[in-house]
């Protein structure tokens, strides 16, 4: 009996050792060295992913760390953005410590390898340098500097990708299947920064919640990305990394797209084919990002008509004024 127990004990030790050796592929000590947050000008970047992983580094789950270092530092993001977007029962995952503790534990256990791989990507770059370089160039182009909070996170329900509900509730979803982390930080960051600036001015538009306003917002962010990279990237890439064939499909169907979507410009419900064509299928064959593309085209025509630096006007104009002064509708009529 003692021999059997000894054998079982040895087996357990060897098995646990093998499991532990696998964990050593991820450097928790290096993870501990990165800052909890980084402040560059008026923007704070919270490395919440750091503590989502560190809470599991020992054999005992550190639930207090999840509350202290993941939930509370950006409470509005969890409560007022994720909690509202996913709503109802799902909202309870985010707007209280108990829900946060529960899903951080179960999600890590079933996705540990993915979390470690994603974290390794961030550990391989200088996050502060990436943001600082982007903000330095951004500051030279834009007349208003945003005040914002951005968190780098893992989350059980994805949908934001790289974005948020307002400039104080932004996130980069590291485990979102549609997010390439390095690409998002390089090409997506200027897009999101422009949203923050435009949001500041958009609040003054009485029709700021209309479908047209959201279309101009997204299209302007795409056009700004095109400018940020000195017009050296393709226009299609600036519009959510769209493929050239998809761009060509939109150009080919441009007149029909504008004509059929114009009646929805004033809609504020959000449930319209301009913003949700993927669900409502007004254009069944259309690629993704219809409102991004249409907004880009309106801004592009505005600049063509009003001069190369006129894009700066867009911050202070209402969406309706941008459309009217762009001459885009006259262009459509000429097709």
Chunk the chain into consecutive blocks of 10 residues (it has 335) and report each block's average pLDDT, rounded to whole numbers: 37 34 71 96 96 94 98 97 90 94 96 96 95 93 88 96 92 96 95 92 90 97 97 96 97 98 97 95 96 98 97 96 98 97
Report CA Rg, the chain. Answer: 23
Residues 35, 166: one domain?
yes
The pLDDT value recorded for residue 204 is 86
The pLDDT value recorded for residue 1 is 39
- Going by DSSP bridges, is the β-strand pair 43-46/37-40 parallel, antiparallel, or unpaired? antiparallel
The crossing angle, in degrees rounded to 10, of helices 254-261 and 273-280 is 110
Residues 56, 114: one domain?
yes
The pLDDT value recorded for residue 24 is 56
Q: Which two tokens stand for residue 122?
A: 């961030």
Position 57 in a domain: yes
Residues 167, 189: one domain?
yes
Position 185 in a domain: yes
- Going by DSSP bridges, is the β-strand pair 148-153/43-46 parallel, antiparallel, or unpaired? parallel
User: What values do phi and psi take at 55, rounded to 5?
Assistant: -65, -15
Instruction: Mark which of 167, 201, 235 sits at the end of a domain.
Output: 201
Gap between the Cα atoms of 115 and 121, Å rounded? 10
Sheet holding 162-164, edge to edge: 37-40, 43-46, 148-153, 170-173, 162-164
Residues 273, 321: one domain?
yes
User: What values do phi and psi take at 40, rounded to 5?
Assistant: -130, 115
Strands (E), the chain: 37-40, 43-46, 148-153, 162-164, 170-173
Domain count along the chain: 2
Range of the domain at 317: 205-334
CA nearest neighbour of 94 among 85, 109, 82: 82
The pLDDT value recorded for residue 25 is 75
Residues 313, 215: one domain?
yes
Gap between the Cα atoms of 239 and 294, Å rounded? 10
This prediction has a pTM of 0.87
- Residue 217 CB neighbour total at 10 angstroms: 21
Q: What is the dihedral of CA 32, 38, 44, 45, to 10 degrees?
A: -50
Instruction: Mark which of 201, 227, 261 sits at the end of a domain.
Output: 201
Residues 104, 239: one domain?
no
Position 167 in a domain: yes
Gap between the Cα atoms of 9 and 247, Å rounded? 63
Instruction: Mark which of 201, 233, 256 sits at the end of a domain.
Output: 201
Q: What share of the chain is helix, strand, coil (3-state, %, to 5)?
A: 65, 5, 30
The pLDDT value recorded for residue 199 is 87
DSSP conformation letters of 210-234: SHHHHHHHHHHHHHHHHHHTTT-S-
Residues 153, 189: one domain?
yes
CA angle 65, 66, 67 (to 5 degrees): 90
Q: Which two tokens stand for residue 291?
A: 């409102």
Residues 269, 301: one domain?
yes
Measure CA 177 to chain center.
12
Position 74 in a domain: yes
């Amino acid at each position: 009996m003692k021999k059997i127990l000894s054998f079982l004990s040895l087996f357990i030790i060897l098995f646990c050792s093998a499991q532990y050796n696998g964990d050593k592929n991820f450097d928790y000590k290096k993870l501990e060295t990165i800052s909890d947050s980084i402040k560059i000008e008026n923007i704070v970047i919270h490395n919440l992913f750091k503590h989502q992983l560190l809470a599991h580094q020992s054999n005992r789950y550190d639930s207090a760390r999840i509350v202290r270092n993941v939930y509370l530092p950006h409470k509005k993001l969890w409560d007022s953005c994720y909690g509202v977007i996913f709503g109802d029962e799902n909202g309870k995952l985010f707007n209280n410590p108990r829900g946060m503790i529960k899903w951080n534990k179960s999600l890590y256990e079933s996705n540990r390898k993915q979390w470690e791989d994603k974290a390794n990507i961030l550990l391989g770059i200088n996050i502060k340098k990436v943001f600082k370089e982007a903000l330095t160039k951004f500051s030279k182009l834009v007349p208003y500097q945003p005040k914002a909070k951005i968190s780098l996170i893992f989350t059980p329900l994805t949908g934001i990708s790289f974005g948020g509900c307002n400039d104080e509730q932004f996130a980069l979803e590291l485990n979102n299947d549609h997010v390439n982390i390095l690409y998002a930080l390089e090409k997506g960051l200027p897009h999101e920064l422009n949203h923050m600036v435009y949001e500041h001015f958009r609040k003054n538009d009485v029709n700021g919640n209309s479908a047209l306003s959201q279309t101009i917002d997204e299209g302007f962010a795409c056009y700004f990305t095109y400018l940020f990279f000195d017009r050296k990237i393709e226009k299609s890439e600036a519009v959510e990394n769209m493929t050239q064939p998809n761009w060509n499909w939109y150009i080919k169907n441009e007149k029909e797209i504008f004509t059929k979507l114009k009646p929805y410009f004033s809609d504020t419900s959000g449930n319209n084919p301009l913003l949700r064509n993927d669900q409502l299928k007004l254009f069944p064959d259309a690629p993704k990002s219809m409102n991004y593309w249409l907004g880009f085209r309106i801004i592009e025509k505005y600049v063509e008509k009003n001069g190369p630096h006129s894009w700066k006007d867009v911050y202070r104009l209402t969406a309706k004024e941008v459309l009217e002064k762009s001459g885009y509708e006259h262009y459509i009529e000429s097709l």
